[in-house]
Amino acid sequence: MAGLCLGTVQFGMEYGINNTLGQPSEEHVFEMLDTAIENGIYMFDTARAYGTAEAVLGRYFESRKNRDSVEVISKLRPNVIEENGADVYSTIRREFEESLKRLHTDYLEGYLLHTPEYIYQPQIVKGLRRLKEEKLVGHIGVSIYGIQEGYAALQREGIDYIQLPYSILDQRGMQEGFIHEAKAAGVTIFTRSAFLQGLFMMDKERIPPHLQGVAPYLSRFGELLSQYNVDCVTALVSFVKQEKDIDYLVFGVDTKEQLLQDIAVWERKGIPEGLMEKLKETFSDIEKSMILPSLWSNGKKAE
């Protein structure tokens, strides 16, 4: 059964299609991080691309003196290799060390490629492996959007972690057999976007014009929830939790109240098998432009 991994993009920038509160204050972020740890969440996911998130986490660890009580995953800055044009490993090492400084730490549990296409470049993957060989990071991997990059990752030596989108509307990882195959290969699977940045919770009239095509699916989703007497958050979370090949659900929150709600939902029994089957059957093939936040605007949204 999967565990929870707290995503931190909201802590470093205004993020989410349904975010009406903006970026939370550092005081509120510290309170949320305290609450997460108090409730047994020890895995944090961050990235250089998440605005000030690494620095905020670093100040939190410095304040609480609790860095050793959690495991931190960060990611290589997107497109950084092309920007530098120098020795690949030197660039990776410099970026990695800058993340360590911001995070006030000398070690990371995981370090991922944030540019999925980098998985096709052996020298870049070799650079990550070298960080691992030098015992600066425990695990290396890649954050992907397309399943093809996931299969490419399985062909690379030393890949430990793969993070990918997975939700009721985006079931590609399971339908194509990738998650099962990756798990069988010993890879730890992290899935994100269970809430699609809050799209599932948006009032119909607030859905942007370019995403109106998803409205009928959300209406059908609402009908199924009513039929089975299940609330929205419980369905979204349980859809991931009940997949045995998924190791971590990466989720973000804007408030302490949201965090406590998600934790409470996680600890519940789950949803009926009949509803799981209906959700898999009803939403099996949705257009990618509606389910991938990376395609909602300029293709470079932080994820």
Strands (E), the chain: 3-7, 43-45, 71-76, 108-113, 137-143, 161-165, 188-192, 248-251
What are the pLDDT digits (tens) for 10-34? 999 875 444 445 689 999 999 999 9
Least confident of 84-93, 132-141, 222-231, 294-303: 294-303
Burial (0-12, 13-18, 19+ Cβ within 10 Å), 189? buried
Question: pLDDT above 70 covers what percent of the chain?
Answer: 92
What are the pLDDT digits (tens) for 122-164? 999 999 999 999 999 999 999 999 999 999 999 999 999 999 9
pLDDT of residue 21: 55
Distance of CA 23 to the CA centre of its chain: 18
pLDDT of residue 211: 79
Could you give the angle at which helices 122-133 and 88-103 cross, rounded to 10 degrees?
A: 50
CA–CA distance, 292 with 1 (Å, rounded to integer): 25
Q: How many other C-beta atoms can be found within 10 angstroms of the C-beta atom of residue 281?
A: 8
Rounded mean pLDDT of the chain?
91
User: What confidence category does residue 294 fall into, taking pLDDT thresholds of 50, 70 and 90?
Assistant: low
Is there a contact between 292 and 170 (Cβ–Cβ < 8 Å)?
yes
Helix (H), strand (E) at residue 288: helix 288-291
Least confident of 51-55, 111-115, 214-218: 214-218
The total number of residues shown for the chain amounts to 303
pLDDT of residue 18: 47
Least confident of 121-135, 204-218, 224-238: 204-218
Helix (H), strand (E) at residue 234: helix 232-241
**Is pLDDT above 70 for 297?**
no
pLDDT of residue 3: 96
What are the pLDDT digits (tens) for 238-290? 999 999 999 999 999 999 999 999 999 999 999 999 999 999 999 988 877 77
pTM above 0.85, yes or no: yes
pLDDT of residue 17: 46
Average pLDDT over residues 68-81: 96
pLDDT of residue 163: 98
CA–CA distance, 236 with 196 (Å, rounded to integer): 10
User: What confidence category does residue 204 fall into, taking pLDDT thresholds of 50, 70 and 90?
Assistant: confident
Average pLDDT over residues 74-99: 91
Least confident of 3-12, 59-68, 180-189, 209-218: 209-218
